[in-house]
Amino acid sequence: MSELNLNETRFDTQAIHAGYRRDSDYGALATPIYQTSTFTFPSADYAMKVFSGEIPGYDYTRAGNPTVRVFEEKIAQLEGGEDAVATSSGMGAISSALLGLFQMGDHIVCGSTVYGCTDVVMREILPSLGITATFVDTGDLAAVEAAIQPNTKAIYFETPANPTMQVTDIAAVSALKQSHPGLRVIVDNTFAPPPVQRPLSLGADVVVHSVTKYINGHGDVIGGVVVGTKGDIAQVRSRAMGKICGTPLTPFSAYLIIRGMKTLGLRVRRHCENALALAQYLETCPEVEKVYYPGLPSMGKDYEIARRQMNGLYSGIFSFVLKEGTHGLSAFDAAKKLMDNLKIPAIAVSLGDPDTLIQHPASMTHVKVPKQVREQVGITDGMLRFSVGLEDVEDLKADFAQAFARL
Ligand SMILES: *Cc1c(COP(=O)(O)O)cnc(C)c1O
């Protein structure tokens, strides 16, 4: 075999081959699981050279592991980053990135609709360490710029945001760096993994993922990753992931993720096609007041931005809102009853699995958030969030039809 130059190949080829090393012992095609906590050295001199960084090698799995490394190189290639560091969860990636890159006195501008635990990290954990955050609607560029202070070191957001599917213009936010040097743009790309959206190619500096979702894609692993420049990743790895947070991905999880990623392009394209078809269908249903999906022209400005930055795929997730008074029910009760009536979607949080999942933020993920607060960010009583799976979309449409009929 001759050597393949990955930079000359396309997405689906990279998803399979990036990071791969031929097993030097037996030629195993699948990446072996190096299920070991520590590594041994043939001599004292060799150990010294590995520990001093003179020659590459592994010493302890919290700091690095060959199976985990294959995943890191694969995702770095697919996101177009120089390097990546894997973590035991998406929150491990987010907290490692923030603790690794920032310090006391720094300020972050954070999107107003971010994942619940990220919100807690930004509002409670970081301020207790002297890192403060201001929350703004990152869809409003003027508001983002106005929130930048002399000590602002990062703009952090999710696009599309959870669960309102609001879109932020990554290139436009990244352009703010020209007049504010020293800023990093950090994007949680969990909802729109490659091939949908590649924030680094649009000017962002760091991408974080909950690998638990589309990247592993089979609903059987919790994992995370931070992707960025060699310098940033070295800092996150040594300062935060390996030491303060100590949240390495396990070799077995890395093996499952590598396996899942071989079909990333196939799966994600199908998730997105199914989601678009269902979102269009739901827009025609009389019970539905509004569908929030970046692939729908009814999303206006968000649709225009999505068309530019999401490669013609618009995520596999959408939210929709049931009408108040539909079938004589309150929107809150109708949403719960619809979930009970559906036969295919599982009532569950998480997303990006082959199985379709549905959740009702007002009674599930946001049940503890006061109604007035959640409504301010658009999470109303009748809103349902849908992670469209890989089932046949005609079966999903038929399921909705019977579930609406029995409301
Ligand atoms: C799930 C999720 C996270 C957290 O990831 P875990 O793997 O559950 O720790 C962060 N951001 C977004 C957008 C998510 O959907």
Per-residue pLDDT tens listing for the chain (407 residues): 888 999 999 999 999 999 998 888 999 999 999 999 999 999 999 999 999 999 999 999 999 999 999 999 999 999 999 999 999 999 999 999 999 999 999 999 999 999 999 999 999 999 999 999 999 999 999 999 999 999 999 999 999 998 899 999 999 999 999 999 999 999 999 999 999 999 999 999 999 999 999 999 999 999 999 999 999 999 999 999 888 899 999 999 999 999 999 999 999 999 999 999 999 999 999 999 999 999 999 999 999 999 999 999 999 999 999 999 999 999 999 999 999 999 999 999 999 999 999 999 999 999 988 899 889 888 999 999 999 999 999 999 999 999 999 99
C-alpha 375 to ligand 1 mean position (Å): 22
Query: Does residue 89 have its Cβ closer than 6 Å to ligand 1?
Result: yes
- The contacts of residue 168 (CB under 8 Å, 6+ apart) are 111, 138, 139, 157, 158, 159, 161, 305
CA-closest residue to ligand 1 atom 6: 90
Exactly one of 34, 115, 214, 314 is catalytic; which is it?
A: 115
Distance, CA of 280 to CA of 270 (rounded, Å):
15
Nearest atom of ligand 1 to the alpha carbon of 191 = 13
Active site residue 353: no
Active site residue 385: no
C-alpha 91 to ligand 1 mean position (Å): 6
Exactly one of 74, 184, 213, 385 is catalytic; which is it?
A: 213
Tokens of 149: 């202070």
Instruction: Give the pLDDT confidence score for residue 91 in this predicted structure.
Output: 97
Report the amino acid identity of residue 270: R
Query: Does residue 353 have its Cβ closer than 6 Å to ligand 1?
Result: no
Instruction: Give the pLDDT confidence score for residue 280 in this predicted structure.
Output: 98
For the chain, helix, strand, coil in percent to 5 are: 40, 15, 45
State the DSSP code for 324: T
Most informative mutation of 117, 157, 158 for ligand 1 (most atoms within 8 A of CB): 117
Distance, CA of 393 to CA of 397 (rounded, Å):
6
Query: Do the Cβ atoms of 172 and 301 come closer than 8 Å?
Result: no
Query: Does residue 210 have its Cβ closer than 6 Å to ligand 1?
Result: yes
C-alpha 244 to ligand 1 mean position (Å): 20
Instruction: Give the pLDDT confidence score for residue 133 in this predicted structure.
Output: 98
Instruction: Give the pLDDT confidence score for residue 148 in this predicted structure.
Output: 98
Exactly one of 83, 106, 169, 188 is catalytic; which is it?
A: 188
Distance, CA of 24 to CA of 42 (rounded, Å):
17
Tokens of 286: 């009389």
Active site residue 213: yes
C-alpha 118 to ligand 1 mean position (Å): 8
> Hey, is 379 helix, strand or coil?
coil
Beta strands 152-158 and 184-188 are parallel
Query: Do the Cβ atoms of 156 and 108 come closer than 8 Å?
Result: yes
Query: Does residue 90 have its Cβ closer than 6 Å to ligand 1?
Result: yes
Active site residue 188: yes
Query: Does residue 162 have its Cβ closer than 6 Å to ligand 1?
Result: yes
CA-closest residue to ligand 1 atom 5: 90
Query: Does residue 357 have its Cβ closer than 6 Å to ligand 1?
Result: no
CA-closest residue to ligand 1 atom 7: 90
State the DSSP code for 216: T
Cis preceding-peptide flag for 160 (omega within 30 of 0): yes
Instruction: Give the pLDDT confidence score for residue 169 in this predicted structure.
Output: 98
Instruction: Give the pLDDT confidence score for residue 1 in this predicted structure.
Output: 81
Query: Does residue 212 have its Cβ closer than 6 Å to ligand 1?
Result: yes
